[in-house]
Chains A and B, each alone.
Chain A
Amino acid sequence: MNPRNATGPKDPNDPKDPKSPGKPAGLLGAAVRRLRRDLVVLAGLLTLAYLILPNVVVMVFSFNKPNGRFNYSWQRFSTDAWQDPCGVADLCGSLGLSLQIAAWATVGATVLGTMIAFALVRYRFRARGAINSLIFLPMAMPEVVMAASLLTLFLNMGARLGFWTVLIAHIMFCLSFVVTAVKARVMSMDPRLEEAARDLYAGPVQTFLRVTLPIAAPGIAAGALLAFALSFDDFIITNFNAGSTVTFPMFVWGSAQRGTPVQINVIGTAMFVLAVLVVVAGQLVAARRKRTAATR
């Protein structure tokens, strides 16, 4: 995603290179050479197909009209589900709940994580090693272990499982990812920029708001985006700590037992298309901004 070198460096292992040692000659040799040169491209594209295939299936089956309760085999074309995406009980409610939880979890994890990241990069203090491990461990542990132990805590405290327990859990596991993303950005910041601001008589608050924060913003944004995606799509931790609250992934999980409505595919497809459009629009805006900046 780096527009700076969009054309990319040259393939270092390109056998077409004239300096490469001896090759069989003739037509067959040329074909073999070409195949060897493009083998990695072919393999990569096959992997890409493997990655995209389920999305294609989800999209195609959003136009299906299944006979039974399950939408697993193709029957006939229909746009019924697209015309009535909320036509299934609880589906849109669960989607709204997931969006709400993801939004709050993003805010919570981003604020707490950014503070930790700044403390880690900018200050010396005791117990740095212990704190680093505390941040690393949630990422190095199977989700089911965290989910089960958190449920043990909630059961022992007699907490009522639901919105709040899910939110607490989501902030907990998103936190480490935000810290990692923001830390990387803050670490690569040039400290001279802040020195310059101070030399120009900016106060600490002004320096932070006008210099530090804008430079750290891409890292914070990346962390927030990651937190949102992780929280929105989380299933295992939610499965343990949600009680009878139904988030969108919980709804899909339940529907795998009860019968999968076509509307699930409609929502999945809509989110996929929306995401691609947002990314493409972002790229276009970035490209235009770069062009205007270059002409200035």
Chain B
Amino acid sequence: MTLLAEKSPAAEPAPPRRAPARRRLVPYWLLLPGILWLLVFFALPLVYQASTSVQTGSLEQGFRVTWHFATYWDAFTEYWPQFVRSLLYAGTATLLCLLLGYPLAYLIAFRAGRWRNLILVLVIAPFFTSFLIRTLAWKTILADDSAVVAALDALKVLDVTNWLGLTEGDRVLATPLAVVCGLTYNFLPFMILPLYTSLERIDGRLHEAARDLYASPATTFRKVTFPLSLPGVVSGTLLTFIPASGDYVNAELLGSTDTKMIGNVIQSQFLRVLDYPTAAALSFILMAIVLAMVTVYIRRAGTEDLV
């Protein structure tokens, strides 16, 4: 990537003399407005938030920086169940997205034939209906007297999820299962599209070679197809896990008070309780956890699995 980027200036015809200063400034002028925008409205807010998180005071008397780091500890000890729940729900949803999305991406890449474009359109088109409307539709689908819940009950699936603690009795709405189901649904296209892109790039001759060497279909998949699709798996899981971990829409619309995620807490602390220091501290803890997990994950995937 950088290799190509470094090379292209050299591809320009060698200037007779040293490029004039005006020309050497071109990249900086190109970068200036966008980077300034990101510095002021992305980086600077993080600084403000860091400062808010160590302030004390009240809404009436105003907040002042007192380096009160105890806020972090208090926030974490009070809300650690929501943190754990968020990571658990987001992790489960990511895994489900991978399990559900892989066959569909595979189908589009290798088995769809002339239906390929139609299926791709069907994967992307739901985006154009606001995701909130579609999430509300799950309220209908998972309603207590709905066909889906009756079918799950008849197939004894609910017994299994009851045992796992995902549901309670014969209800699905307002349980962890509903929230995970909503999260999985909402972020599934973000898993399918990168998977499809990396599957589609695979050179068909590699598969032929595997077959010629008497690899069974399962072995071909395990040794050729899956390893080559790993870049898609990595970016798909990131694109699913990161937004899912901070989401509060699914927990609010499909869950109950027992399924609140950390996003719900940050939202209500910020917009309803107006306890800015706690909200800022929680949001920083979430950022730190997600960035740490992403860094470790990318490094592992990058050095061991992606070779």
Residues of A in contact with B (beta carbons under 8 Å apart): 1-3, 6-15, 17, 19-21, 40-41, 43-48, 50-55, 57-58, 61, 72-73, 112-113, 115-116, 118-125, 128, 131, 134-135, 137-138, 140-146, 148-153, 155-156, 168-169, 171-172, 175-176, 179, 187, 191-192, 195, 198, 229, 232-233, 235-236, 239-240, 248-249, 252-253, 256, 260, 264-265, 268-269, 271-272, 274-276, 279-280, 283
Contact = CB atoms under 8 A, between A and B. Distances in A.
Given A8-B113, A13-B217, A73-B143, A272 B126 contact: yes
A256 B136 contact: yes
Given A123-B9, A140-B294, A115 B34 contact: yes
A45 B103 CA distance: 8
A252 B133 contact: yes
Contact of B100 (A13, A17, A47, A274): A47
B108 interface: yes
A233 B52 contact: no
Interface in B1-53: 1-2, 4-6, 8-9, 11-13, 26-28, 30-31, 33-35, 37-39, 41-46, 48-49, 52
16 contacts: A9-B109, A13-B218, A44-B106, A46-B100, A51-B122, A73-B143, A119-B30, A131-B35, A140-B290, A141-B287, A143-B247, A144-B248, A168-B41, A172-B37, A240-B270, A252-B130
Q: Which size class do B's interface residues fall under?
A: 35 or more
Interface stretch (B77-85, B154-162, B238-246): B238-246
A248 B283 contact: no
Interface in B149-181: none
A125 B133 contact: no
A73 to B, nearest CB: 7
Interface stretch (B66-74, B220-228, B299-307): B220-228
A10 to B, nearest CB: 7
B234 interface: no
Interface string B259-291: 000010011001100001001100110110011
Given A123-B9, A124-B6, A236-B248, A141 B122 contact: no
A271 B128 contact: yes
A20 B111 contact: no
B188 interface: yes
A268 B129 contact: yes
Contacts, number: 322
* Chain B binding surface SS class: helix
B116 interface: yes
B59 to A, nearest CB: 11
Contacts of A146: 42, 45
A292 B94 CA distance: 45
B125 A148 contact: no
A47 B130 contact: no
B189 interface: yes
